[in-house]
């Protein structure tokens, strides 16, 4: 019986087939890029995005975050998230208290620290900018570029993990 090896260079996974048995072998750092679509301006959702961006940065992964619809408001200069998602409103005071005391970092701080690592990029949705009438000058300094959905999706298809935070 002949053994067959199939190597996927993008995911660095080797598919090994021998005697009707298929094994998948992960080579090296399997996960190396994450793409996140952020479409909410709520504190809890922005905190999730910040935690994932900073964690991926700490793990030396590339991360790309695309802020669209209500999530775009978060990268507008002067924006302050005021509420958590309605499903979690009972935890709003506790979350705000923990962020104020410093036991949980604020979402913007997490994004800025992730950006400083050099392997995290932030994109603003061009369609949503037009819809809300926001100019590039009104975006936070950490935003790398303004792109459309098609451009971001072409970047995201190369990712090992894709998430949608809404």
Lowest mean pLDDT among 18-27, 49-58, 127-136, 157-166: 18-27
Portions of the chain given CATH number 3.40.1260.10: 33-165
Provide the pLDDT confidence category of residue 1 given band limits of 50, 70 and 90. Answer: very low
Q: How far apart are CA 156 and CA 77, in angstroms?
A: 26
Determine contact, residues 102/96, Cβ cutoff 8 Å.
Answer: no
Pick the closest to residue 75 from 83, 66, 84 (CA basis).
Answer: 66
Which contacts (CB < 8 Å, 24+ apart) does range 93-97 have? Answer: 95/43, 95/44, 95/47, 96/43
Mean pLDDT rounded to a whole number for the chain: 86
Q: How far apart are CA 33 and CA 45, in angstroms?
A: 20
Q: What is the CATH number of domain 33-165?
A: 3.40.1260.10
pTM: 0.80
């Amino acid at each position: 019986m002949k053994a067959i090896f199939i190597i996927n260079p993008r995911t660095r996974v080797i598919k090994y087939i021998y005697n009707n048995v298929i094994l998948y072998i992960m080579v090296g750092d399997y996960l190396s890029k994450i793409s996140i679509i952020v479409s909410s301006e709520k504190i809890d959702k922005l905190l999730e995005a910040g935690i994932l961006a900073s964690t991926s940065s700490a793990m030396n992964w590339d991360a790309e975050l695309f802020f669209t619809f209500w999530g775009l408001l978060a990268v507008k200069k002067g924006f302050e998230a005021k509420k958590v998602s309605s499903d979690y409103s009972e935890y709003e005071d506790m979350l705000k208290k923990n962020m104020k005391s410093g036991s949980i970092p604020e979402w913007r701080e997490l994004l800025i620290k992730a950006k400083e690592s050099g392997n995290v990029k932030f994109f603003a949705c061009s369609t949503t900018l037009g819809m809300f009438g926001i100019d590039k000058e009104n975006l936070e300094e950490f935003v790398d570029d303004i792109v459309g959905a098609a451009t971001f999706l072409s970047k995201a298809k190369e990712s090992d993990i894709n998430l949608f935070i809404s």
